[in-house]
Structure 1
């Protein structure tokens, strides 16, 4: 198990919690893991995730973590993380990407975050982000605060987003200048 490069764990039902803390025991989590996908409820992110320095891709689905879970803190310093997918992952209304964190992240997908109303990207956070996908975040009506600091952002893909959010991206809207550097903006 120590030499695994991909790990995909799924619960059998939407209400079942994943218990993965036993992987913290010797011999510990797979140290060469590059791809991790967890589908199912979580009390908190497994404590061993920050030890996975080879991790390049993470998908967290149906986790429904609460505000107190410090959900992004366990992921923000992973040195090789380039792709992060968060689907029905979080029940809070604010998601904050802290300054100088997620240094190599290139693709971020946020989907079905039902309570999410605000996204904050602090100056210097996710500096290499090229592709941002937002899907079915029905309470997100404002562009992420700090999106203009994502100077390498090339694609903004939107799926089933609220009309108020889409209106902020129209050519004649007062917020359009925030994404002026983004080459591709598509709404589906």
Structure 2
């Protein structure tokens, strides 16, 4: 896929090689990337952060299976939107100083084990955080550390299965 220089949007569903080999597979000009059900055990953020034109990143259900995730300094220079959905084993997320300097919108949905996020207060352009079905302890920590310029919206949806006759 790396030779497809005109490819700007990609949705990958299923399995891929380990994270350290992703950089050789992904086109460098990607602007929108969605990963789902990849079950990667190695933190992909250092590799994905090297995609210089990436503006939207969506990590959906079971795309990452590790307990820690780190966005390294200098990574994701153009990222504006980040969505983390149903990363069930993620416990700690770190955003190093200088990572994601243009991030405006963050959505975290049903990351049930997520306990801590460090560095979000360092994101100068972050103005909206949407939390859906997140542990109350995480919501309170995030609200306490996000500052006054960030709008934090909390959704708690209860899903029930339709019982047809």
Q: TM-score range by the shorter chain?
A: 0.7 to 0.9
Residue in 1 that maps onto 2:25:
48
Q: Tell me which of 141, 152, 162 is aligned to 1:185.
A: 152
Does the 8 A contact of 1:151 with 1:181 survive in 2?
A: no
Residue in 1 that maps onto 2:41:
66
Between the aligned partners of 1:149 and 1:58, the Cα distance in structure 2 is 24
TM-score of the pair, normalised by structure 1: 0.75
Does the 8 A contact of 1:131 with 1:155 survive in 2?
A: yes
Q: What's the offset of the Cα at 1:72?
A: 2.2
RMSD of aligned C-alpha atoms? 1.6
Q: What's the offset of the Cα at 1:36?
A: 0.5
Q: Does 1:95 align with 2:49?
A: no
Greater relative contact order, per chain length (Cα 8 Å cut-off, separation 6+): 2
Q: Tell me which of 79, 100, 106 is aligned to 2:52.
A: 79
Does the 8 A contact of 2:46 with 2:70 survive in 1?
A: no
Q: Which blocks of at least 5 consecutive residues in structure 1 are unaligned? A: 1-22, 171-175
Between the aligned partners of 1:32 and 1:74, the Cα distance in structure 2 is 20
* Greater Rg over alpha carbons, structure: 1
Between the aligned partners of 1:105 and 1:169, the Cα distance in structure 2 is 20
* 1:92/1:33 CA distance change after superposition, 3 Å: same
Q: Secondary structure at the match of 2:47?
A: coil
Q: What's the offset of the Cα at 1:104?
A: 0.5
What stretches of structure 1 move > 3 A for 4+ residues in a row?
A: none
TM-score of the pair, normalised by structure 2: 0.84
Between the aligned partners of 1:168 and 1:71, the Cα distance in structure 2 is 25
Q: What's the offset of the Cα at 1:169?
A: 4.3
Residue in 1 that maps onto 2:109:
135
Range moving further from structure 2, 90-99 or 178-187 = 178-187
